[in-house]
Structure 1
Amino acid sequence: MKVVLMRLAALGVAGLVLAAPFAVRAQDDDDDHDRARDLYERGEIEGLAGILSIVHAKAPGEIVAVDLIRSGGKWVYRVQVVAADGRRRIVDVDARAGAVVGGEGDDR
């Protein structure tokens, strides 16, 4: 009986250890959202809806990820797009000016 309880305790601890990175990631996502909202409200960045229109014009497809990063002293939306043929593209858009500033992927 004591061995069973020790195994259950060890399993519980292992579960907590494995779940911790997901909890931290969720907190990071909340912080990112709050930071983006604050920057938008202060007029330092454009809203995401307008940025996504720019991205769709440059790289049609399904948007699978959007990150707001700091690059070269500017806020940049980094958008990952998967085209209908399966190609993945990354489009970087200046978050303040709303202009495409770079990216990577196939342009065919």
Structure 2
Amino acid sequence: MPKLFPRVSTAVLMAGALLCALAWPVAQAGDDHEQAHRAVQAGEVMPLRGVLERLEREHPGQVLDVELERDGGRWVYEIKLLQAGGQRVKLKLDARTAELIQRKERHPKRGER
């Protein structure tokens, strides 16, 4: 019976390590969400709804993806759009003011839509 204990404890430790490794990305995503929520509450970041309303007026198109991240000490919204004619646009906006920082366009290739 004493030989079984090391195998069981090793299996338990390995299972625990695996669970921690699998849970790490989820915990990180939760931390990111909390950081973003605190930034909105503190007025460091404009709520997404306001950003999208402004975006629709100034850069119309279908929103494909939105990311909120820290870039050089400030919060930045990175938004990907699909505009008329199949043009894809990637915008970087100051998250506090929704002012445009950068715009990259990708025009569809011939036959692509």
| TM-score for the superposition, normalised by structure 1 | 0.66
Instruction: Tell me if the contact between 1:61 and 1:83 (Cα under 8 Å) persists in the aligned partners.
Output: yes
Q: Shift of residue 83 of structure 1?
A: 1.3
Q: Which has the higher contact order (CA 8 A, sep 6+)?
A: 1
Alignment pair present for 1:52 and 2:52: yes
Q: Shift of residue 25 of structure 1?
A: 5.2
1:59-99 CA-to-partner distances (Å, cap 9, x unmatched) read 21111111112222211100011113222111111011221
Structure 2: how far apart are the matches of 1:27 and 1:87?
A: 36
Which structure has the bigger radius of gyration? 2
Q: Where do 4+ consecutive residues of structure 1 move more than 6 Å?
A: none
Structure 2 counterpart of 1:31: 31
Instruction: Tell me if the contact between 1:89 and 1:104 (Cα under 8 Å) persists in the aligned partners.
Output: yes
Unaligned runs of at least 5 residues, structure 2: 1-17, 108-113
Letter in structure 2 aligned against 1:72: G
Unaligned runs of at least 5 residues, structure 1: 1-15
| TM-score for the superposition, normalised by structure 2 | 0.63
Structure 2 counterpart of 1:8: none
Instruction: Please show how residues 58-97 of structure 1 align to structure 2 within 5 Å.
Output: 58-97=58-97
CA RMSD of aligned residues (A): 2.7
**What is the identity percentage for the equivalent residue pairs of Structure 1 and Structure 2?**
31
